[in-house]
Amino acid sequence: MDIGPGLPAPTPAGRFAPSPSGELHVGNLRTAVLAWLFARTTGRGFVIRMEDLDRTAVGADQQQLADLAAIGLDWDPPVIYQTGRQEIYQSVIDDLRDAGRTFECFCTRREILEAPSAPHAPQGAYPGTCRDLTAAQRVERRATGRPPAVRLRSDTDVFTVDDLLHGNHTGAVDDFVIQRNDGTPAYNLAVVVDDAAQGIDQVVRGDDLLSSAPRQAYLATLLGHTPPTYAHVPMVLNSEHVRLSKRDGAVTLTDLAERGVTADDVLSHMASSLGLADRGEPVDIAAILERFRPAALPRDPWILTDDEWS
């Protein structure tokens, strides 16, 4: 597969791939630390990829890189931006179409949610509505003015991935979208293409994404690539036990700095939450690297309350 302009020859690596839509919060930073630790303790490279196909904020990418550096992380250049690789994604989509592995889908999200689904299929799984439309039916639907999305014509209902924390995980695979109806390559397509191109053979990310791993690993296999080994790590939740977000107050390095909490302080608190430092013990990333043992990682989320920084 053509890895595209500006990419070095791939070598085994881990990665952190944020969306540059704003500042990273403590949950993002903790996942980045874990991705870095998993990569560095296994002799892998570590790369940063900006997944900027969706909404972005001006300057957010540079702020994110600055925050990652502030907590001690380093990475192998260059930083890759997905918006510079759209021709590569389109080439892969075209190849799949030419091989008869795609179909056009005119369904809305509401129609998919309200459609009868197959027994035991997870909620929201695509029910196959447009999979076998005739040419005449496609012409009729196009005449409504609604542009179609492109879905992968999957030939399996499930796929199993290897996860370092969850073991073998078998999850659902449906006819998932690989190109949205506005022409933008879908996340599940772009991430697979980029991981293969960058030599990413280890993916560390939040465990809220575990359910998407079987789809992505299946597509990687279909494209002739070996799926990465995964490590879906526990997330950071707020006091309501809901996934942490920037709405939860002082959770970015900028906000915390206004309260006198330094980047070093934040790193030490994250290390404590991972069992890699005692409460209140100052540690740097080198010390954390020496102590890191994947098998000893906590499996429960970190509940972050406002008094964490007191």
Kindly give the confidence (pLDDT) of every residue in the chain, 310 residues in length, as a single tens digit, with 9 standing for 90 and above: 344 444 555 689 999 999 999 999 999 999 999 999 999 999 999 999 999 999 899 999 999 999 999 999 999 999 999 999 999 999 999 999 999 999 999 998 888 888 876 555 676 789 999 999 999 999 999 999 889 999 999 999 999 999 999 999 999 999 999 999 999 999 999 999 999 999 999 999 999 999 999 999 999 999 999 999 999 999 999 999 999 988 888 899 999 999 999 999 999 999 999 999 999 999 999 999 999 999 999 999 999 987 888 7
Phi and psi dihedrals of 298, rounded to 5? -65, 145
Contact 216, 191 (CB under 8 A): yes
One of 3.40.50.300, 3.40.50.620, 1.20.1050.140, 3.40.50.970 is the CATH number of 13-83+235-309, namely 3.40.50.620
Q: SS in 3 state form for 35-85?
A: HHHHHHCCCCEEEEEECCCCCCCCCHHHHHHHHHHHCCCCCCCCCEEHHHH
Binding residue ranges for ATP: 246
Instruction: For the chain, list the strands marked E by DSSP.
Output: 13-16, 45-50, 80-81, 102-105, 149-152, 158-163, 167-172, 177-179, 202-206, 229-233, 236-237, 302-303
- Residue numbers in the known binding site for L-glutamate are 15-19, 51, 187, 205
| 28 CB-near residues (< 8 Å, 6+ apart) | 18
Give the residue among 114, 136, 135 at the shortest CA–CA distance from 123.
Answer: 114
Encoded tokens for 77: 């250049």
Annotated binding-site ranges: 15-19, 51, 105, 107, 126, 130, 187, 205, 246
**Residue 65 CB neighbour total at 10 angstroms:** 18
Distance separating alpha carbons of residues 201 and 292, to the nearest angstrom: 20
- The residue type of 299 is R
Beta-bridged to residue 203, according to DSSP, are 230
Which helix H or strand E contains 147, and what residues bound it?
Answer: none
Which CATH fold topology does 86-226 show? Rossmann fold (3.40.50)
- Those residues whose C-beta lies under 8 Å from the C-beta of residue 297, and which sit 6 or more positions away, are 34, 165, 233, 234, 274, 275
- Domain residue spans in the chain? 13-83+235-309, 86-226
Contacts of 300 (CB under 8 A, 6+ apart): 234
Annotated binding site for Zn(2+): 105, 107, 126, 130
What tokens appear for 262 in the block?
């330094």
